[in-house]
């Protein structure tokens, strides 16, 4: 099957349905980028991308934040190739930046159960940042069991497995430009 994007056609499996288009993603990115610039005026925040899923979101978002900033990445694991969170989270790639007394924004692709973000909040707080904020492109509120405040949310989505724009289908499809739902 072929999905006709704005200026780009992408080939997708027949069981994929379009959820959020590249155009909608770009518009939202601009909105969040401008808000972050306002909220962190006069500072040099560090944006920490959570690998692998958030790599595209971080890369695109920072181009809409018109100020000095730093980036770093952390990699954690909990899912393996399964669709449900195991709750056992490991750090696979630690931070390199020193975040003590810095304003930090954690950049996630999607908050589902919220266990990953809760783990990151506890772990990163121990480094004593000045401020710890969370941005996520997608949020599944009906699935979230934790009460961490999400400061920037791109889109709220229903409880379906989503793929594309950094989000994987068994490690593949991260390179799709739009976000799709996999039909059961």
Q: Which residues pair with 180 in a beta bridge?
A: 18, 163
Catalytic, 112? Answer yes
- Residue among 68, 64, 59, 92 nearest 78 (CA): 92
Closest contact distance (angstroms) between CB of 73 and ligand 5GP is 13
Q: Is 111 in the site for ligand 5GP (CB under 6 A)?
A: yes
Q: How many helices (H) and strands (E) does the chain have?
A: 3, 11
Binder among 62, 112, 150, 180 for ligand 5GP (CB under 6 A): 112
Closest contact distance (angstroms) between CB of 43 and ligand 5GP is 26
- Residue among 87, 82, 123 nearest 106 (CA): 123
Interface with ligand 5GP: number of residues (CB under 6 A)? 18
Binder among 78, 121, 131, 153 for ligand 5GP (CB under 6 A): 78
Q: 135: how many CB neighbours lie within 10 A of its CB?
A: 21
Closest to ligand 5GP by CB, 114 vs 129, is 114
- Are the CB atoms for 19 and 162 separated by under 8 Å? yes
Q: Is 121 in the site for ligand 5GP (CB under 6 A)?
A: no
Closest to ligand 5GP by CB, 121 vs 168, is 168
Instruction: Please tell me the distance from the alpha carbon of residue 106 to that of residue 125, in angstroms, as a whole number.
Output: 12
Region of 86 (left: φ > 0; alpha: ψ -120 to 50; beta: rest) is alpha
Exposure string over 140-164, b if 16+ CB within 10 A, otherwise e:
beebbeeebebbbbbbebeeebbbb
Query: What is the footprint of ligand 5GP within residues 139-178 (CB under 6 A)?
Result: 161-163, 167-168
Over the window 29 to 68, marking each residue x when it contacts ligand 5GP by CB under 6 A and - when it does not, the resulting string is ------------------------x---------------
Instruction: Please tell me the distance from the alpha carbon of residue 141 to that of residue 150, in angstroms, as a whole number.
Output: 11
Q: Which of 112, 159, 168, 169 is catalytic?
A: 112
Closest contact distance (angstroms) between CB of 106 and ligand 5GP is 11
Q: What residues line the site for ligand 5GP (CB under 6 A)?
A: 53, 78-79, 85, 108-116, 161-163, 167-168
Active site residues: 112
């Amino acid at each position: 099957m072929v999905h006709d994007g704005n200026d780009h056609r992408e080939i997708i499996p027949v069981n994929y349905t379009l959820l959020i288009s590249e155009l909608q993603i770009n518009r939202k990115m601009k909105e969040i980028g401008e808000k972050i610039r306002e909220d962190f005026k006069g500072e040099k925040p560090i944006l920490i991308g959570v690998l692998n899923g958030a790599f595209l979101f971080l890369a695109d978002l920072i181009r809409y934040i018109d100020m000095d900033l730093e980036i770093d990445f952390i990699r954690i694991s909990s899912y393996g190739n399964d669709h449900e969170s195991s709750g056992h989270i490991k750090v696979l790639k630690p931070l390199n930046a020193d975040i003590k007394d810095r304003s930090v924004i954690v950049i996630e692709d999607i908050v589902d159960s919220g266990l990953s973000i809760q783990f990151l909040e506890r772990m990163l707080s121990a480094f004593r940042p000045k401020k710890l904020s969370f941005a996520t492109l997608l949020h599944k509120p009906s699935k979230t069991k934790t009460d961490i405040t999400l400061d920037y949310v791109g889109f709220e989505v229903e409880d379906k497995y989503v793929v594309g724009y950094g989000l994987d289908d068994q490690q593949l499809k991260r390179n799709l430009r739009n976000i799709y739902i996999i039909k059961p």
